[in-house]
Amino acid sequence: MKGKYSLFLCCALPCLLSAASTLAQDSRVKLKAYSTVKPARDSMGNQISPQDSVSSLATFTYTVTSGRDGNTYTGAMVGQDPFGSGFAPVTVTTPIVPVIITAPVSLPLLSPLPSFL
Contact 107, 93 (CB under 8 A): no
Angle at the Cα of 11 from the Cα atoms of 5 and 16, rounded to 5 degrees: 110
Percent of the chain whose predicted confidence (pLDDT) is above 70 = 57
Percent of the chain whose predicted confidence (pLDDT) is above 90 = 10
Q: Per-residue pLDDT averaged across 68-84, rounded?
A: 87
Per the prediction, the chain carries an average pLDDT of 74
| Beta bridge partner(s), residue 59 | 78
Please indicate, yes or no, whether the overall pTM of this predicted structure exceeds 0.85. no
Of the spans 6-15, 23-32, 39-48, 58-67, which averages the highest pLDDT?
Answer: 58-67
DSSP 82: T
pLDDT of residue 87: 78
